[in-house]
Amino acid sequence: MSNPLRIFVPVKRVVDYAVKVRVNATKTDVDRNVKHSMNPFDEIAVEEAVRIKEKSPKTEVVAISCGTTKSQETLRTALAMGADRAVHIEVKDDSTLEPLAVAKLLKALADKEANKPDLFILGKQAIDDDASQTGQMLAGLLKWPQTTFASKVDINDKSLKVVREIDGGLETVSTKLPAVITTDLRLNEPRYASLPNIMKAKKKPLVKFTPEDLGVDISPRLQTLKVEEPPKRAGGRKVESVDELVDKLRNEAKVL
């Protein structure tokens, strides 16, 4: 038996996917006084790590979140799903964390650990900034292989085979650990945390660091000048029949 795997899973607290966001009055951001939850792609990442652990029980799964104090709720959710311990990299309430800063924090954390992680599993994108950058940046900084948009992951000892979702279909790549994976929607179906597991999660260890502890400069490189509502569509018209639809498309919209 080879050495047990150590999997790091970064998770982000975001506005819940079902919330219809609104731009705030000052047009600087969206209204954040709404329900938040774990980024859906990150749930898939936690689930995948926990499944790997279920196959080889010595695996250690570490959930990490960079953000304000409230990120700890998201970490507890990951612990309730089956992560072993959590690391909270705490920033001040008004800090903006960009993907490059998060990637640097994660790299610094990996460097700090006495036992290095073998694998990072991240979501392919956060549904708030829609950037789709952090995993790739982290892999670049670590000089590790990256297998992004994964829809199937096979780990056999230290080798990794991943089926990736690409434009037009699927692609298979293989590599060696250590590596970075980012998850696509179809990788798995995340479990719900049961009440006993939620209770147990409260006792699991959670350690805190600050960016200063890790020696990382998180100053933003981008400045958001304004945030606006997208242009409204004048939709909502109904037609009575297929005949009327064909007529409108031909003679009014002129798209047929």
Partner 1 sequence: MFASVTSRIALQTRSTLVQRFYTTGAGVNTLLYVEHKDGAISGATLNALTAAKKLGGSVTALVAGEAPEGVAKEVAKLEGVSKVLTAKDAAYAHALPEDIAPLLAEVQAKNGFTHLITGHTAGGKNVFPRAAALLDVAAISDITAIESEDTFVRPIYAGNAIATVKTNDKVKVITVRGTAFEAASATQDAAPEEVVSSSEKLGLTQWEGEEIQKSDRPDLGSAKRVISGGRGMKNGENFKLLYDLADKIGAAVGASRAAVDAGFVDNSLQVGQTGKIVAPELYIAVGISGAIQHLAGMKDSKTIVAINKDADAPIFQVADYGLVDDLFKAVPELTEKISK
- 173-192 residues in contact with partner 1 (CB under 8 A) are 173-176, 184-186
Stretch that binds partner 1, among 14-22, 59-67, 86-94, 114-122 (CB under 8 A): 14-22
Between 39 and 59, name the residue whose CB sits nearer to partner 1.
Answer: 39
Tell the residue number behind the tokens 């230290």, with chain if given: 158
The interface mask with partner 1, positions 20-59, x = CB under 8 A, is xx-x------x-----------------------------
156: enclosing H helix or E strand: strand 146-156
Applying CB under 8 A, what is the total number of residues that bind partner 1?
Answer: 80
Query: Which is nearer to partner 1, 80 or 133 (by Cβ)?
Result: 133
Tell me the window of 1-9, 57-65, 139-147, 202-210 that interacts with partner 1 (CB under 8 A).
139-147
Distance CA 59, CA 52 (A): 7
Which 61-120 residues touch partner 1, going by CB under 8 A? 98-100, 103
Q: Considering the complex, state which of residue 196 and residue 230 has its C-beta at the smaller distance from partner 1.
A: 230
Interatomic CA distance for residues 102 and 170, integer angstroms? 29
Give the angle subtended at the CA of 45 by the CAs of 43 and 49, to the nearest 5°.
115
Residue from 6, 148, 193, 216 that binds partner 1 (CB under 8 A)? 148
Q: Taking Cα atoms as reference points, which of 150, 128, 138, 136 lies closest to residue 102?
A: 138
Question: Can you read off the two tokens belonging to residue 131?
Answer: 């950037």
In contact, 78 and 46? CB cutoff 8 Å:
yes
- Please tell me the distance from the alpha carbon of residue 112 to that of residue 210, in angstroms, as a whole number: 13
CB of 79 to partner 1, least distance (A): 26
The smaller minimum CB distance to partner 1, of residues 89 and 137, is found at: 137
Cβ(17)–Cβ(41) under 8 Å? no
Q: Which of 39, 65, 74, 136 binds partner 1 (CB under 8 A)?
A: 136
Tokens of 54: 């279920």
Q: Does 134 bind partner 1 (CB under 8 A)?
A: yes
Residues 35, 174: Cα–Cα separation, whole Å = 39
Three-state DSSP state, 21: coil
Q: Which SS3 state, helix, strand or coil, does residue 138 take?
A: helix
d(CA 183, CA 159): 18
Q: Which stretch binds partner 1 (CB under 8 A): 71-79, 86-94, 124-132, 190-198?
A: 124-132
